[in-house]
């Protein structure tokens, strides 16, 4: 399985331009992710899977001054933007081109203290998610954490309708607040961005309860749902220290 053929540079350009409007409470989500990572007491490595333009990587670098962050992404445009925007962090930020669904990147020379991902894991099917969680558990150092911010699949039609409507409301509010108009909101629908309103083959969100179970199955403890709104959730777990 590969994501290479499903994601295009036009998708990257649109998200770089409009992500601030399309993602509900993006800053809050990043704050929750960083809050669930124990502050390291020594230099550590952290991985940002599908780092995009580097927003979450920047949050990690700011929150953890002893950390080095590697941002991995499929898109050259995303990686170029991340390198440019985070150049001020010097060698504390590195980039690596990868395909999330591939396995070659899952053996690391240094065991990371944290692996994070935002709006990417839902591109994997159920088996792909389960394999990813197992591999990340193996990859992490003892006491390390996996924290995911992602789209999840509501359990029934009322949940889907609620996620759809809440996401629409969030994009409308953020469009008005950010631009004074509804241009971003209109683009959100023109691009058919919401998987709860315009299902497509690229988006494969899984129920959050299933994913919490897969994390436990992989060996994670303290598995929990930390935040959720409009079909977007932040969840994760800890690799036992012993």
- 133-189, pLDDT tens digit by residue? 999 999 999 999 999 999 999 999 999 999 999 999 999 999 999 999 999 999 999
φ and ψ at 46, to 5 degrees? Answer: -130, 145
- Per residue in 6-49, pLDDT (tens digit) is 555 566 778 888 889 999 999 999 999 999 999 998 999 999 99
- Structure pTM? 0.94
In the chain, % of residues over pLDDT 70: 95
Q: What residues contact 95, with CB distance under 8 A and at least 6 apart?
A: 51, 70, 71, 72, 73, 79, 82, 83
66-70 average pLDDT score = 97
Question: How confident is the model at residue 115, as a pLDDT?
Answer: 98
Please report, rounded to a whole number, the percentage of residues in the chain having pLDDT higher than 90. Answer: 90
Per-residue pLDDT at 4? 47
pLDDT on residue 1: 43
pLDDT score, position 123: 95
pLDDT tops 90 at residue 57: yes
- Give Dmax (Cα) for the chain: 53
């Amino acid at each position: 399985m590969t994501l290479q053929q499903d994601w295009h540079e036009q998708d990257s350009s649109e998200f770089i331009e409009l992500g601030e409007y399309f993602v509900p409470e993006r800053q809050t989500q990043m704050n929750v992710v960083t809050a669930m990572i124990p502050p390291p007491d020594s230099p550590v490595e952290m991985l940002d899977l599908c780092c995009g333009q580097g927003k979450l990587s920047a949050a990690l670098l700011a929150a953890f001054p002893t950390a080095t962050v590697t941002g991995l992404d499929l898109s050259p445009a995303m990686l170029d933007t991340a390198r440019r925007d985070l150049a001020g962090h010097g060698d504390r930020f590195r980039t690596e081109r990868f395909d999330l669904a591939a396995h070659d990147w899952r053996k690391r020379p240094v065991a990371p203290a944290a692996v994070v991902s935002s709006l990417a894991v839902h591109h994997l099917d159920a088996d792909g998610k389960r394999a990813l969680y197992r591999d990340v558990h193996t990859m992490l150092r003892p006491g390390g954490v996996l924290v995911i911010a992602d789209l999840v699949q509501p359990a029934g039609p009322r949940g889907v309708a609620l996620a759809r409507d809440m996401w629409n409301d969030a994009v409308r509010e953020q469009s008005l607040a950010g631009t004074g108009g509804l241009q971003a909101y209109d683009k959100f629908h023109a691009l058919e961005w919401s998987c709860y309103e315009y299902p497509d083959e690229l988006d494969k969100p899984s129920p959050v309860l299933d994913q919490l179970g897969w994390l436990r199955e992989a060996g994670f403890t303290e598995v929990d749902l930390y935040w959720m709104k409009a079909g977007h959730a932040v969840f994760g777990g800890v690799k036992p220290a012993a």
